Every structure is written in C-alpha cells, then in structure tokens.
C-alpha cells in the first residue's frame, strides 16, 4: 500500500476535500442526515462566493438552488449537478476509506470525487474566480444541484414544474460525463436512458430440506436462472419482443468518428479487466456502449451465501434488472415489454412479482447547434491544440431530457471524468488537473455563452 501524500492544497482543493467528506449516499436512509448536511455545506459555499443560495426541501433529499443578480438582455444559463453519491461498498477494496479523501500523485481518491462533486465544484470555483476577478459574471446564472441523481431524480421533475418561472433559462450546462482520454476534450451530445425493474420469485413458504423435498417442488433459484437466461440470445442481443422497435440507428458519421477515438478495444479490455469483450453482434464495442440498448443484471440473490454448503431449496429468488435505452425508446413502454416477456417465459412452479424502479429518458441533441459550437469553443480554449471529440455516453442523467420537456431547453454535456476514474467503483478518483481544468472551462463557457446562444 502506498503512503498518502499531502501536497500543499490550494483553497479549491481544500473545499473539494470538505465536500467529499460528507457520505451523501442518497439511496441509504441511514445517510439522510449526512446528505442534508452536505446540502447545507453547498448553500454556505455558494452564499460565500456572492450568490443567493437556498436549500429547498422535497419529498426526498433537498435541492440546492443559487443565482446571481439577473440582468435583462443576458442569456440565462443553468448549471446542473448532483451532490449525492453511490454507496461505497465493497469497502475492503478501497485503498483508503471512501469518505477520507486522499491525494496521491496529483489524483484525489474519494467516493464522489469524479461523480459528481469534483465536477460540480469545479463550476462553482470557476464562478467564484470570475466574481472575484471581474466583479460579476457575464451571464444570468442558476445553479441547480440535487441530492437524488443517483437514485433517478424521483422528485426533480415536480420541483422543475413547481419552480418553472424561477428556473426559466436558455440552456443547461452539465459536467457529469467523461473525456475520451487524458487531455482529450470531449463534447457529449447524447446519453442513454434507463429503466429499472426488480423481479422476485417465490416457491415454498420456507427454505426446505433439498433431500426430503427435492424433486417434489420447483426451485426458485433454478427458475430465476432460466428466466434471466431468456433475456438475451447467445449473441448478446436482447430477446424481448419489440425491444428494438423504436431504436434510432447509429449514423454513419458517428460510426466513422467513434472508430477514430482513443478508446480502442484493447483499451476497453484494460479498463474493464474482463477476459474479452462481448455484446450485440454487428456493432463495435463503443457503439454498443454509446448508442445501443442493453438489458443488464445488476444483482441476483437466492439461497445460501455463507461458507461451506447448506442443502436447501431456497424459498425465494430475486434479480435487479436495468435496461439502458437509446433514442427513441420509452422507459415505460420498455418496462411493459419486459414484464410481458418475463410472464411469458416464467418457468412452472413459482410465483412472480415485480417492483418498478427509477427510469429516465435517453437524450440526444445536435452537436452543431449554436450552443453546441459555443461549448466546443470553450473546450478548445481550455485544452489548447486539441479538437473536441464528439460522443454519446452510455451512462444516464435522467433529468436531462426532462429539462427539455419541462423547461424547453437543450443541455450541454461537458464532462471531465477520465475513463479510469472508477465512478461507482472502489477507489473512485479525479485528477486535480481535471478539477482545475473544470473551473477554467466554466469561465470560457460562460464567456462563450454570454456572446449569444
């Protein structure tokens, strides 16, 4: 294990460390107070740099909104981000504890460092620097920072609808996506959507002796394995009837552009640590991630998980599924198709129940819109000499399409995460270089957008 080095922190890094110390895990009610405290920290920080910030309660975790003094004739830019994080487990795989930020070789390690605290704080620091140096910002600004992104933003749509007037803006900017490589500026013009579904099978009323009753009744674990196996064909294509009906084909120019990206198959093998790449036939791996839908098992459980053996027929089995969706798939419709598929393929002898989880629409925008071009100019100014890569991302930010539906605006996605930042994984990290580049990017972006969108 390498030693922790603590170089002299500048103020921004010190702020980031404080921000990262809150275990603001939105999915776990045991952390509700930490999550609320994290929102309070943000309010204090935003007020401290000269904005008017408020914490708004919701049915779930609070939303933080901050604004400068809005002046007529200027574009209004909303910067969206999230202060909640994913759970940190498995804890034993972290080199040092996830909520005790550590810097090693210029890289900050902590849960949330890249997704999304480092990236949203970079915007805040950029705004802080602009106000300190110029006395004001070149645009009307709204920060909207929520605490429920990692659980699918269940309360944010209502919040947008209720505060539609105050949140009126010309466009949204988000740094919660990735770069295709170190020093390679990246403009993301699409995201996958998501739909989550938990399936539970029940058989006998209690775990049974597998010798006394084995052969007499169905085993829910076996039934679940058979059911899950019906979701794909042998080539990795999703086998649910109608699943691909609304899928927009990958465009030729995208295919050509993505072939040239530095994320090669070899690089993907390294990044994932998998023995080989696998997925839907006829598409390159990156195409499958950016622009093709998937069905994934996120968790599966049944029967005895302890040391040694235990001869039982488990009473129940469950699987957590998510579908990653692309334009123009609709999450509600896909869940209906999935439920119909699972009903049709349910093996005999067990009962099935469904629990619908979060969902979010896919998003795609024109990378060459006026605002898209402004964003790319800001990226060029931040990373001189490098031409921005144009990509769609495989991840989801459920509120992005909702911004379009409720506020009528497009979102610019200017992410700073590197492929090996390990978002959602142990040892999540963010190079301080990217953190500082993020505040430079914010200043270029606001200037470019002030010139007209």
Active site residues: 84, 149
Stretch that binds ligand BES, among 59-67, 210-218, 257-265, 394-402 (CB under 6 A): 394-402
Nearer to ligand BES by Cβ, of 15 and 150: the residue is: 150
Give me the residue whose beta carbon is nearest to Mn ion: 115
Determine phi and psi for 439, rounding to 5 degrees.
-75, -35
Note whether 130 and 444 are within 8 A (CB). no
Q: Is 176 in the site for ligand BES (CB under 6 A)?
A: yes
Give the nearest distance from C-beta 146 to ligand BES in angstroms.
Answer: 11
Site stretch for ligand BES (CB under 6 A), options 88-96, 174-182, 207-215, 283-291: 174-182
- Tracing tokens 């007499």 back to the chain, one arrives at 216
Q: Which of 193, 388, 395, 419 contacts ligand BES by CB under 6 A?
A: 395
- Evaluate the CA torsion angle 344, 347, 348, 354 in order and state its sign: negative
Residue with the two structure tokens 């200027």: 74
Is residue 116 a contact point for ligand BES (CB under 6 A)? Answer: yes
Q: Of the two residues 75 and 360, which places its CB atom closer to ligand BES in the complex?
A: 360
Gap between the Cα atoms of 89 and 93, Å rounded: 8
Contact 230, 211 (CB under 8 A): no
Q: Which residues bind Mn ion (CB under 5 A)?
A: 115
Binding partner of 254, given Mn ion, ligand BES, none, CB within 5-8 angstroms per partner class: none
Is 115 or 254 the residue whose CB approaches Mn ion more closely?
Answer: 115
Contact between residue 379 and residue 185 where contact means Cβ atoms under 8 Å apart: yes
**Residue placing its CB nearer to ligand BES in the complex, 201 or 290:** 290
By CB under 6 A, is residue 115 in contact with ligand BES?
Answer: yes
Using CB under 6 A, pick the residue from 118, 360, 388, 431 that binds ligand BES. Answer: 360
Q: Which one of ligand BES, Mn ion, none interacts with residue 397, CB within 5 to 8 A by kind?
A: ligand BES
**38 or 224: CB nearest ligand BES:** 38
From residue 178, how far is each of 104, 182, 184, 403 by CA, in Å?
Answer: 21, 10, 10, 20
Binding mask 415-434 for ligand BES (x = CB under 6 A): --------x-----------
Measured CA to CA, the distance from residue 95 to residue 271 in angstroms comes to 18
Q: Which stretch binds ligand BES (CB under 6 A): 47-55, 304-312, 392-400, 436-444?
A: 392-400
Point out which residues pair with 232 in neighbouring strands. Answer: 238
Residue 178 makes contact with ligand BES by CB under 6 A = yes
Q: Does 331 bind ligand BES (CB under 6 A)?
A: no
Beta bridge partners, 197, equal 321, 356
Residue 412 binding ligand BES, by CB under 6 A: no
Does 448 interact with ligand BES (rule: CB under 6 A)?
no
Q: Which long-range contacts (CB under 8 A, 24 or more apart) does 87-96 make?
A: 87/25, 87/27, 87/28, 88/23, 88/25, 88/426, 90/426, 91/426, 93/426, 93/427, 94/426, 94/427, 95/1, 95/2, 95/427, 96/4
* CA nearest to 111, candidates 102, 98, 120: 98
CA distance 66 to 48: 11
Q: Which does 9 bind (CB under 5 to 8 A by kind): ligand BES, Mn ion, none?
A: none
CA distance 19 to 38: 7
Residue 388 engages ligand BES in binding (rule: CB under 6 A): no
Q: Which is nearer to ligand BES, 118 or 204 (CB)?
A: 118
For the CB of residue 196, give the shortest distance to ligand BES in the complex, in Å.
Answer: 7
- Rounded to an integer, what distance in angstroms lies between the CA atom of residue 21 and that of residue 99? 5
With CB under 5 to 8 Å by kind, the binding choice for 101 among Mn ion, ligand BES, none is none
**What secondary structure letter does DSSP report for 387?**
P
Closer residue to ligand BES in complex, CB, 86/140:
86
Q: Is 150 in the site for ligand BES (CB under 6 A)?
A: yes
Question: Across-strand partners of 85?
Answer: 25
Residues that bind ligand BES (CB under 6 A): 115-116, 149-150, 152, 176-178, 194, 358, 360, 393, 395-398, 423
């Amino acid at each position: 294990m390498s030693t922790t080095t603590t170089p002299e922190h500048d103020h921004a890094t010190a702020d980031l460390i404080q921000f990262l110390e809150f275990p603001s895990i939105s999915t776990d009610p045991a952390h509700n107070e930490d999550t609320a405290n994290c929102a309070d920290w943000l309010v204090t920080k935003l007020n401290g740099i000269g904005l008017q910030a408020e914490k708004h309660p919701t049915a779930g975790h609070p939303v933080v909104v901050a604004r400068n003094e809005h002046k007529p004739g200027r574009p209004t830019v909303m910067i969206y981000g999230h202060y909640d994080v994913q759970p940190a487990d498995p804890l034993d795989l972290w080199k040092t504890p996830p909520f005790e930020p550590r810097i090693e070789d210029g890289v900050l390690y902590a849960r949330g460092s890249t997704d999304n605290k480092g990236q949203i704080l970079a915007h805040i620091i950029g705004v802080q620097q602009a106000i300190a140096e110029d006395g004001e910002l070149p645009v009307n600004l709204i920060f909207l920072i929520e605490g429920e992104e990692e659980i699918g933003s269940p309360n944010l749509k209502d919040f947008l609808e209720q505060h539609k007037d105050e949140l009126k803006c010309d466009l949204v900017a988000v740094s919660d996506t990735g770069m295709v490589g170190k020093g390679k500026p990246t403009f993301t013009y699409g995201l996958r959507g998501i739909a989550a579904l938990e399936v539970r099978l029940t058989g006998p009323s209690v775990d049974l002796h597998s010798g006394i009753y084995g052969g007499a009744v169905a085993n829910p674990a076996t039934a679940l394995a058979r059911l899950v196996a019906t979701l794909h064909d042998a080539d990795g294509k999703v086998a649910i009837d109608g699943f691909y009906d609304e899928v927009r084909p990958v465009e030729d120019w995208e295919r050509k552009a993505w072939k040239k990206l530095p994320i090669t198959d070899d690089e993907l093998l390294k990044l994932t640590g998998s023995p080989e790449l696998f997925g839907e036939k006829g598409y390159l791996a990156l195409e499958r991630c950016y622009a093709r839908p998937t069905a994934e098992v996120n968790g599966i459980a049944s029967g005895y998980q302890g040391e040694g053996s235990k001869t039982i027929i488990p009473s129940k089995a469950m699987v957590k599924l998510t579908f990653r969706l692309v334009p123009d798939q609709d999450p509600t419709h896909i869940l209906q198709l999935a439920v119909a598929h699972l009903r049709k393929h349910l093996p005999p002898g067990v009962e099935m129940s469904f629990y619908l989880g979060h969902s979010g629409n896919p998003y795609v925008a024109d990378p060459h819109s006026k605002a898209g071009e402004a964003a790319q100019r800001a990226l060029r100014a931040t990373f001189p000499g490098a031409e921005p890569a144009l990509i769609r991302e495989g991840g989801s930010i459920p509120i992005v399409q909702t911004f379009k539906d409720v506020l009528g605006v497009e979102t610019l996605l200017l992410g700073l995460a590197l492929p090996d930042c390990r978002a959602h994984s142990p040892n999540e990290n963010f190079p301080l270089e990217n953190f500082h580049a993020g505040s430079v990017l914010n200043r270029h972006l606001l200037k470019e957008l002030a010139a007209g969108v």
